Amino acid sequence: MATSNSVPRPQLEPYRPTDRRPIASMFRNWATWSVQWCAVRGIHPNTISCSSILVSGAAATCFVLAGTNPWLLIAGTFFSLLRLYLNMLDGMVALQTGNASASGEIANELPDRISDTLIFVGIAHSGLCQMLLGYWGAILSLLVAYVGTLGKAAGAHRDFSGPMSKPWRMVALGLGSTLALLFGTHFAVAGLSIIDWTLLAIISGCVATFFRRTRNVLNALNNDQAESTECQ
């Protein structure tokens, strides 16, 4: 009787992301039911990631129309925060269902960048602020994220630090939108609307975050290089 000479293939370890944004245990607990719901129904984490683009598009639409319908500022805020929830949920579902993958990292990052752009461009065209500030908010949001991913590509860990990371940008935007609705969209201080001041705060925070992450990445890479030299 012929015997097989084939050698069994080694079992590969499941892919696990090396860098994940810190999530407070409170928010993780809130998302437990949603994670289980998605897992039972076989909803792929990439589907959740891409759905955040649709939600961000809804937020942008609300902000664009808020110039004539101010109450839509609250709807835009809701969709912006829902976008954050989906961004948290996709990674948790990926780990729960064993669907985490290297390609999933792309599916996680790319929709985030599209979502940031949609939301801030929507604000820019709301008529409630100076358009240029909205576009600068979009540009600096992309640069802040770029530093983190660039650092990871260069060999450092993905840096999520800084005063105006993605969650805080959305929280700041929501707070400014709420204040604009309460005090009136035409309320101004020093010739700038509440949304203008909100965008200025976000822009300033993004600049600070950009330099902080750049410094952290460079320090990490320099330390790794120094340790490598010592080991030679």
Mean pLDDT, residues 158-178:
93
The pLDDT tens digits for 19-48 are 556 555 556 677 788 888 988 988 988 999
Contact 93, 99 (CB under 8 A): yes
pTM: 0.85
The pLDDT tens digits for 107-145 are 888 999 999 999 999 999 999 999 999 999 999 999 999
**DSSP code at position 92:** H
What the block records as the tokens of 130 is 């100076």
Map out the domains of the chain with their CATH numbers.
25-231 (1.20.120.1760)
What the block records as the tokens of 62 is 């609300």
Mean pLDDT, residues 143-154:
89
Q: What is the spatial distance between Cα 104 and Cα 92, in angstroms, rounded to a whole number? A: 12
Mean pLDDT, residues 10-23:
57
The pLDDT tens digits for 189-199 are 999 999 999 99
Q: What angle do CA 108, 109, 110 make, to 5 degrees?
A: 105
Query: At 193, is the secondary structure helix, strand, or coil?
Result: strand
Q: What is the spatial distance between Cα 23 and Cα 184, in angstroms, rounded to a whole number? A: 34
Token pair 């604000």 is at which residue? 123
Alpha-helical runs (H) found in 101-193: 102-124, 131-154, 166-183
